[in-house]
Structure 1
């Protein structure tokens, strides 16, 4: 029972171990397909305690063993109990996780995980395949930043509790950067600041090196007048006010990075290849995105480097369309939408984080950038790939009337049936490296089916 899994990462021992000691490391390692969230990270790998949330309000307590702590070579945690909600996980029997690190040559480290438990190793292997790839890829992203001269940054983030914001915050802090979350409730701790979107305080961004602006109402839903107003107001006006504050401060940020969307190109572009210099499309979302990007002008006018990240369809097991489609396809009820001929320009969640990260440290990255993988696919190919990753058939087509019932005619036309063949030309010109350039690999990584390929 249990598992032992090892890999070599091309990074020095001290750097690999240090990464594990920082806030954000545990959220970066918890697989997104598992029903588990990080409630509290351990304050110390020597003798601290981490708390993971399970369904039904249950808790998994990982207690670190001071007797086994040997930095930078080893730390150990074991399943423990602390209160009634932590008793049910003990039904597995025992769990003791030894993390070993060894120098195996110049700039190379062997990472070895050994778990002594009653849980069969076959069930655990996908988790450790995922963890080791996350570690190697995150360390590579931080190495790219360091080689470009990027030191520790102070980054203010709006929308930090969302899917992208949560993951980006963890990635940055585990890399040694400080993140200040701009929140609308009263701030809790030194790494939060209260942000009134209607009247942001003049000193909101004091002492900040860069801003990542992710906040905005979800575009999912029926395109009623109220929903359209919420989409527009939560993007255009909020961005303009934040850009004004960013540009006005004497000790404020040098970089302003704002979320954007490939909706800029319109919803019906057919086989046209769309790059950053392609014309704006038509439709409600195209108009909103154009105004959203224009709202960053106060920051650019004040001399800040501004980058707007035109994001494609994010592939993440914990949110977005993949979270909705996974149970359908797992049940064998998935299939193409309508004709299946429409282009889908996608990006894996971790690749999106790398784009935002690059926008912080690469001075060449300004203006709009297409945050999409280099391999857009048609809807029929997407559904076939997802089904293959899950080892299920994809034979149940979804008629166009389905999305129209849920989203209304306009919502279906601009969201579910959008036809956009977008390429990351700007990133390509910068020599950007994608973690998951192919759809099958991105889906397998997110859904825990990547073990067979390693």
Structure 2
């Protein structure tokens, strides 16, 4: 059994092929709804080997074929056996994937995927729909940055292994940038540097063009005194020290994560933009202090951008990862009366916003990283249920989430209501990959057909 899929992209063939050769391509193309995670990427399309972790401790090993490697026209990979964990898949699920690149003209490339496997075509087509859109949108984003003069850069990233950090680093490396991961442990390769949040080394940011600071303890959890202290302590002090170092080193761009919690837990139907005042409550206090710490990096030589992030949509983490199995089982529902505003943002649109913060020198200060169309909680519920073809009829009373988060946690997280708009991005004519929630969820969950 075999399947053939293709898509034409408005990028020269050599550039498309080079994108596939760079680190991060496998990660950018891996469908997020599948229950598999990347253990390692192939070091070479000619003879490298990629490994996927599967449920039950199994492994999928994809071995690239040197005999079939013909740049920039073709590369081939097939399943292989490397240890007991890879034997069931390697023996029982044959797979040969031929990637071909045809030059339509000087500026267009037809990407063709031919797969020989017993896996039914109906299961594979959503994967290739996802891959083609990711490839098209990523190359377009890099092309826009190049048109604005953004050259290959060295970018230091904290929190690179997290949900946002892993997506952003893969995006940047496929764009030809060098990413230096600032890690707590001893470095394991030349693209890692050990970072002590309490006392960063004086040479930590040497030869770095930009810093993206994403690290911080998860806000999810019961709002105990210890949890609240971890949220604040992992953000304010480390950010101040890293910002001071960036300023002293003369790093041109310092981009720091922030959150829409700045506006407070509930502002009713008030439309909130970057110029609106901060709200009240624990998260508003933490975010205000966090942003103040980031601002200490600002100088004539260092531009600071604070990315106030909304509710990130990705089946790999965050709220969607928690809600997807509940809704798939028909147990989803709106929280309370469902009137709360939910300012969402797709994971790839968030990556694009961080990317823009790196190359758009006109962008400084606070930037609301939310989609242009916020929805109420009840509308989010209906949309996710529709995408998954499941009912979502029964509302969830507030005391349900309160059992896990406590009263304050429910108010600040599960029942929060913020009608936030991306005013600065809209003014900059920033293109969103997904302006409406349903198209975002369908893409991320493989439900586009």
For 2:380 and 2:312, the matched residues in 1 are separated by 13
* Distance in 1 (alpha carbons) for counterparts of 2:378 and 2:256: 32
Indicate conservation of the 8 Å contact 2:81/2:91, yes or no.
no
Contact 1:247–1:302 (CA under 8 A) maintained in structure 2:
no
Aligned partner (choices 352, 355, 367) of residue 354 of structure 1 = 352
SS at match of 1:124: helix
Aligned residue in 1 for 2:329: 331
Deviation by residue 1:414-441 (Cα, 9 ceiling, x = unmatched): 1000010001000011110001111001
Change (3 A) 1:208 1:185: same
User: Counterpart in 1 of 2:340?
Assistant: 342
CA distance in 2, matches of 1:268, 1:167: 30
**How far 1:2 moved relative to its partner?**
3.0
Deviation at 1:352, TM superposition (A): 0.2
| Pair 1:193-2:179 in alignment | no
| Stretches (4+) displaced over 2 A | 90-93
Q: How does 1:176-215 map to 2 (within 5 A)?
A: 176-215=176-215
Q: How does 1:28-47 map to 2 (within 5 A)?
A: 28-47=28-47
Counterparts of 1:49-448 in structure 2 under 5 Å? Answer: 49-90=49-90, 92-249=92-249, 252-301=250-299, 303-448=301-446
**Matches of 1:345 and 1:266, distance apart in 2:** 13
Structure 2 Cα separation of the partners of residues 95 and 198 of structure 1: 49
Deviation, 1:196, is: 0.5
Deviations 1:151-194 (A, max 9, x none): 11100000011100011111100110000000001111110000
User: What corresponds to 2:27 in structure 1?
Assistant: 27
Asked if 2 retains the 8 angstrom alpha-carbon contact of 1:92 and 1:118, the reply is: no
Q: Do the aligned partners of 1:248 and 1:302 also contact (CA within 8 Å) in 2? A: no
Q: Which runs of 5+ in 2 are unaligned?
A: none
TM-score (norm 2): 0.99
Q: Alignment RMSD, CA only? A: 1.0
Contact 1:258 1:307 in 2 (8 A): yes
- The question of whether the paired residues in 2 share the 8 Å contact of 1:153 and 1:177 is answered with yes
Structure 2 CA distance for partners of 1:248 and 1:180, relative to 1, 3 Å: same
Deviations 1:62-107 (A, max 9, x none): 1111121111111110111111111111354311000011111231
Following TM superposition, by how much is the alpha carbon of 1:302 offset from its aligned partner in structure 2, in angstroms? Answer: 6.1
Secondary structure in 2 aligned to 1:412?
A: helix
Aligned residues: 449
Distance in 2 between the 1:302 and 1:55 partners?
51
Partners of 2:2 and 2:275 in 1: CA distance: 53
Q: CA deviation at 1:43?
A: 1.3
SS in 2 for 1:60: strand
Taking the aligned partners of 2:2 and 2:419, their CA distance within structure 1 comes to 45
Distance 1:288 1:302 in 2: 27
3-state SS of 1:63 partner? strand
Q: Residues 251 and 301 of structure 2 are in contact (CA less than 8 Å); yes or no, is this contact kept in structure 1? A: no
Q: CA offset at residue 38 of structure 1? A: 1.5
Checking the alignment, whether the CA contact within 8 Å between 2:222 and 2:404 is kept in structure 1 is yes
- 1:327-355 deviation digits (Å, cap 9, x = unpaired): 00001111111000010000000000000
Give structure 1 stretches of 5+ with no counterpart: none
For the residue of structure 2 that corresponds to 1:431, the secondary structure is: coil
